[in-house]
A = this chain, B = another copy of it.
Amino acid sequence: MAKVTIQEVAREAGVALGTVSNVLNHPDRVRPETIERVRAAMDALGYAPNQSARLLAGGSSAVFGLILPHMTHGFPLQEASGAQSEARRAGYDLIMLNSAGDPEIERANLRYLAGSQVAGILIHPLCAQHVELPASRRAIPMVYQGVIGEGPGCRVAADREKQGALVAEHAARSGAHHIAVFGRSFAPAEVDRARGIIHVAHDATVQFEFIDEGAPDRSRDGFEVGSKLMRRPACERPDFIIGLTDALASGALAAVRAAGLRVPGDVAVAGCDGNPLAWIGDIPLTTVVPSGYEVGRRGVQLLIEQIELEKLAAFSGEPMDQDLSRQELIRPFLLQRASSVAGASLVGGMDFDVGAYLV
């Protein structure tokens, strides 16, 4: 019972080889009762079509490939979940590869997918630099996630500037007088958010202060910045702190409380990137809802659009004059929690089932 081929299924079912193939690929061309018989034979023999053979022979695959930059919590995972469910809705499978932060692995992953004849590739590149398909495979539909930029191609990213703007508007409207914003000026995501905030600050009457400590993006680092701020004399102390990442913000939140001040009574705190990691403390953090899920979904939709377009072109005689090009930004929205909204339930953040959300 080693290798069951289509040939043996045909024999077992008492039909021709071609018929078995049709059952697999064009069930409409086969009489229902025959289909039944063939399926039974497949099950009896434990037949699993050899994907290599079927692709090599020109069949298509109904599998999308997704290349993740790494597998940490937050964005990439949300993207993967969104892509998964959208792909499945459309009848595609999704395989995921992880670049684990290494450009070399990223290249290898791309080569692999290119050589695997997947129906389309979703890639969240490690850096904004172009990562491209080998010249010989440019025909494979591809969508970049998490990056924007000029030039042809499809790109879907979260609107980070808008993320910052939302938080800033919230802070300004909250009645705060002195808003401190902190993060790292060398981290692209944080710079984008800061840009959004600056935009808002420009039109607002409140004081905005920008701080860059250049530290890594850990809660601990946020804690230190927060502590420093809290040690200031009361008149120079901000009454609203925006962390450009949720990890930083949650550290700052802890620092405010460690300093004996009330949140949000004395000092309000908000984060920016909707990372579930930061939603769990006993004072839930105001932040923006993760748009990664939506980015993943949209990415798959664009892949499918490209495929449809290609089909159309093939049908109407091969012109395919132009590739589909799209640049899309996914809008975030603000989640107002107890860290910045007096009166929000202290445990409000806890009824959020992160797991379910991500599925």
State how many angstroms separate the Cβ of A194 from the closest Cβ of chain B: 21
Could you tell me if B93 and A94 are in contact, using CB atoms closer than 8 angstroms? no
Q: Does A26 count as interface, using CB distance less than 8 angstroms?
A: no
Chain A 210-264 residues near chain B, CB threshold 8 A: 216, 218-220, 222-223, 250-251, 253-254, 257-258
Q: Does A286 count as interface, using CB distance less than 8 angstroms?
A: no
Q: Does A308 count as interface, using CB distance less than 8 angstroms?
A: no
Q: How far is the CA of A1 from the CA of B136 in the complex (A)?
A: 6
Q: Closest B residue to A111 by CB, please name it.
A: B48
State how many angstroms separate the Cβ of A225 from the closest Cβ of chain B: 12
Q: Does A16 count as interface, using CB distance less than 8 angstroms?
A: no
Neighbour of A350 across the interface among B100, B112, B251, CB < 8 A: B251
User: Given A52-B55, A347-B223, does the pair A216, B353 have CB atoms closer than 8 Å?
Assistant: yes
Residues of B within 8 Å of A355, CB to CB, are 70, 72-73
Q: Closest B residue to A357 by CB, please name it.
A: B72
Residues of A whose CB lies within 8 Å of any CB of B are: 1-4, 45-53, 55-56, 63, 70-73, 77, 80-81, 84-85, 88, 93-98, 100-101, 105, 108-109, 111-112, 114-117, 133-139, 216, 218-220, 222-223, 250-251, 253-254, 257-258, 276-278, 280-282, 346-347, 349-355, 358-359
Could you tell me if A218 and B353 are in contact, using CB atoms closer than 8 angstroms? yes
Could you tell me if A346 and B56 are in contact, using CB atoms closer than 8 angstroms? no
Q: Closest B residue to A96 by CB, please name it.
A: B96
Among the interface residues A51, A257, A258, which one has the most CB atoms of the partner chain B within 10 A? A51
State how many angstroms separate the Cβ of A332 from the closest Cβ of chain B: 20
User: Given A85-B100, A100-B88, A281-B282, does the pair A347, B220 have CB atoms closer than 8 Å?
Assistant: yes
Could you tell me if A354 and B136 are in contact, using CB atoms closer than 8 angstroms? no
Could you tell me if B354 and A115 are in contact, using CB atoms closer than 8 angstroms? no
